[in-house]
């Protein structure tokens, strides 16, 4: 949204405000002139009159106009707004500057100024100030001040940290400066806000982080579950209510902290509930930022789907999982070169058991930290070889660990992507696939594209081409600047990907996206005639054209449920003229007269009886 939005843009914002649609959370903020308060569009208060509303693209712009954040809807919980471009150089530079200012690790620098930020980006301070104000409507220091104050507001409302600790965590050099800035912006002292906050002191360190729906929570849970490394990570099974827990080590502002965190989604409120241990409370802003990146909470599905929906219509809710530590992700990416996910997980678990530090936690199953870069840099080849790691990957891990340990390589979302990718590819044993994968998950680059990935070639149907990587690269031009999301959607479309199996409650009706026609039950699926009944897992979709006899060549099962969870009702009802066993005759064992097991009747071609 521009500094002076058009009447049509203002009307669209007002309609979104009236609908309280979470999809627009954080995309704009509404300032109410009659109260002097600004809110995200999901605020539950009574909708203000149209003539009393002003709309802003960023919270910093609303505060610069004299508005204060709402104490009920709490704008600090809203997801961030990220705009990506591959052509606008000024926009790219402004976004890179904003990412540096969003990083809590940079707040501890007392010498942080526009000049220091411009020197890091390689431009003049005048040029940086000009393009930043054009993109965000505020100066870089105003933007930074809003980020610090909103972070402090969240810590005051959700934690029992002392005010002095809140000031230091939010990047203020002294409590006096913190109090002065807080009163000037919010017309409340920090202690007054804590008394008026939703989370009283002593309630524990639990915070809520907003996101924009749709969000495919089950698919993300399956992705993390298949890659969890014990005893560092733990994914508690569940359909949409799974929990993720892990140990972590955080270094921020010269402070190092170790502890654990636990996260669970609250789809009803479009929020992630995060619980952290007391050991990492002092670096909570850094932990929150890493959690937002790890779960991709700041993604804008509407912008992504506008580019990818026509190519991948079934992946609108998919997110690109990030990481909690860039070095850990890079090591695990090297371990996963040319082997399966399960084999890479086994190697990572052996590495944690051998080189990881023990950590006492209150969560069963979490007892170690991932190894430090210094520990792996000093590890001998024999020690790594004893874990089953081949020599080429040993050299890659040691070179990577040495580069990170000495500070020559930083793997975080605030680093420059092209130069970091070039530095990664200069290390022995790290090629384009590994560098792109690290850029996708650790550097949070939405346009990363591992063109040489074999699974990607299969999903795109180019594995038989003479140069599949080149063909995939050419095809991906239409997906810019969201190619990372396109890769996740392509991977999830593979037939053997467990993420494709959507979890359906036992007694819920079939979805409208795949209508059921009872007239076609009995003609959609078939099972080879055998005397035993092994379950629905043996029934496959028949995609033979009409008139062709014999079993179908496809191996896609008709039933989404595990083998043995369904039973046939009777032999008489199970026989028909077109199938030996029909899906119409098979019911869920937990509900004999419930919905049929097969969800594919309208998607299968009517076969001829084998």
Letter string b/e over residues 116-140, b meaning 16 or more CB atoms within 10 A of that residue's CB: ebbebbebebeebbebbbebbbbbb
| Residue of 188, 199, 187, 104 lying closest to 156 (CA atoms) | 199
Q: Is residue 297 classed as helix, strand or coil in its secondary structure?
A: coil
> With 0-12 CB in 10 A as exposed, 13-18 as middle and 19+ as buried, what is 292?
buried
Rounded CA-CA distance 536/515 in Å is 20
Q: Which long-range contacts (CB under 8 A, 24 or more apart) does 140-144 make?
A: 140/97, 140/101, 140/114, 141/113, 141/114, 142/60, 142/63, 142/64, 143/58, 143/60, 143/98, 143/101, 144/101, 144/107, 144/112
3-state helix, strand, coil in the chain (%, to 5): 45, 10, 45
Q: Both tokens of residue 321?
A: 């999982």
Taking CA atoms, 129 is separated from 56, 64, 430, in Å, by: 19, 16, 38
Rounded CA-CA distance 135/172 in Å is 26
| Residue of 503, 510, 525 lying closest to 580 (CA atoms) | 525
What stretches of 20-161 show up as alpha helix (H) in DSSP?
59-64, 89-102, 114-121, 125-136, 140-158
| Residue of 427, 245, 261 lying closest to 330 (CA atoms) | 427
Out of 216, 453, 558, 579, the active site residue is 453
Q: Both tokens of residue 1?
A: 């949204």
Q: Both tokens of residue 525?
A: 């699926």
Q: Is 73 a catalytic residue?
A: no
Rounded CA-CA distance 417/442 in Å is 10
Give the residue carrying structure tokens 């052996």.
350
The CA radius of gyration of the chain, in Å to the nearest whole number, is 27
Taking CA atoms, 272 is separated from 204, 244, 248, 445, in Å, by: 16, 11, 18, 22
Rounded CA-CA distance 589/506 in Å is 10
Out of 13, 39, 53, 536, the active site residue is 39
Rounded CA-CA distance 425/336 in Å is 16
Half-sphere exposure of 482 (CA within 13 A, CB side): 26
Rounded CA-CA distance 567/557 in Å is 15
DSSP state of 156: H
Q: Is 583 a catalytic residue?
A: no
> Is the distance from CB of 110 to CB of 144 less than 8 angstroms?
no
Query: DSSP string covering 6-33, please?
Result: -HHHHHHHHHHHHHT-GGGTTT-EEEET
Please, what is the Cα angle at 321 between 315 and 327, to 5 degrees?
Answer: 155
Catalytic site positions:
39, 453
């Amino acid at each position: 949204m521009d500094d002076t939005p058009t009447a049509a843009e203002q009307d669209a914002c007002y309609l979104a405000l009236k609908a309280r649609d979470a999809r627009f959370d954080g995309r704009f903020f509404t300032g109410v002139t009659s109260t002097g308060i600004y809110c995200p569009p999901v605020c539950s208060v009574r909708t203000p009159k149209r003539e009393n509303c002003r709309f802003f693209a960023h919270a910093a712009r609303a505060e610069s106009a004299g508005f204060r954040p709402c104490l009920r809807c709490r704008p600090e919980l809203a997801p961030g707004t990220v705009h990506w471009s591959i052509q606008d150089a000024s926009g790219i530079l402004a976004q890179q500057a904003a990412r540096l200012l969003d990083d809590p690790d940079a707040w501890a620098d007392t010498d942080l100024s526009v000049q220091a930020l411009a020197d890091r980006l390689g431009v003049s301070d005048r040029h940086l100030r000009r393009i930043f104000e054009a993109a965000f409507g505020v100066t870089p220091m105003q933007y930074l001040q809003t980020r610090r104050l909103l972070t402090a507001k969240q810590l005051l409302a959700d934690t029992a940290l002392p005010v002095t600790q809140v000031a230091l965590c939010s990047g203020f050099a002294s409590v006096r400066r913190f109090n002065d800035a807080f009163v000037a912006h919010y017309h409340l002292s920090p202690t007054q806000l804590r008394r008026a906050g939703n989370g009283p002191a002593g309630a524990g360190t639990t915070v809520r982080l907003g996101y924009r729906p749709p969000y495919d929570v089950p698919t993300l849970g399956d992705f993390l579950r298949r890659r969890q490394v014990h005893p560092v990570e733990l994914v508690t099974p569940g359909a949409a209510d799974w929990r993720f827990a892990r140990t972590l080590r955080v270094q921020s502002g010269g402070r190092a902290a170790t502890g654990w965190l636990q996260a669970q989604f609250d789809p009803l409120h479009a929020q992630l509930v995060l619980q952290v241990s007391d050991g990492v409370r002092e670096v909570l802003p850094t932990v929150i930022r890493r959690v937002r990146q790890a779960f991709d909470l700041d993604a804008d599905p509407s912008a992504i789907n506008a580019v990818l929906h026509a190519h991948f219509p079934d992946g609108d809710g998919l997110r690109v999982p990030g990481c909690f530590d860039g070095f850990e992700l890079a090591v695990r990416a090297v371990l996963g070169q040319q082997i399966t996910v399960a084999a890479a997980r086994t190697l990572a678990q052996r590495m944690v058991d051998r080189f990881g530090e023990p950590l006492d936690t209150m969560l069963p199953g979490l007892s170690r930290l991932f190894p430090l870069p210094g520990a792996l840099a000093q590890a001998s080849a024999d020690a790594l070889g004893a874990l089953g790691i081949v020599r080429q990957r040993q050299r890659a891990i040691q070179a990577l660990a040495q580069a990170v340990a000495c500070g020559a390589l930083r793997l975080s979302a605030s680093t420059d992507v092209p130069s970091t990718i070039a530095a990664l590819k200069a290390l022995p044993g790290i090629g384009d696939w590994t560098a792109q994968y690290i850029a996708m998950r650790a550097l949070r680059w939405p346009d990363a594209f591992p063109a040489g990935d074999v699974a990607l070639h299969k999903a795109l149907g180019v594995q038989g081409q003479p140069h599949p990587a080149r063909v995939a690269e050419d095809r991906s031009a239409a997906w810019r600047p969201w190619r990372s999301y396109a890769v996740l959607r392509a991977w999830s479309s593979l037939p053997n990907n467990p993420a494709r199996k959507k979890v359906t409650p036992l007694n819920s009706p079939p979805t409208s996206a795949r209508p059921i026609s009872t007239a076609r039950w009995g003609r959609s699926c078939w099972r080879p005639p055998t005397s035993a009944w092994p379950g629905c897992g043996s029934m496959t979709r028949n995609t033979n054209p009409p008139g062709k006899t014999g079993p179908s060549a496809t191996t896609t099962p008709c039933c989404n449920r595990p083998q043995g969870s369904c039973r046939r009702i009777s032999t008489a009802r199970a026989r028909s003229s077109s199938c030996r066993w029909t899906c119409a005759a098979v019911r869920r064992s937990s509900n004999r007269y419930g919905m049929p097991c097969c969800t594919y009747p309208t998607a299968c071609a009517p076969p001829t009886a084998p």
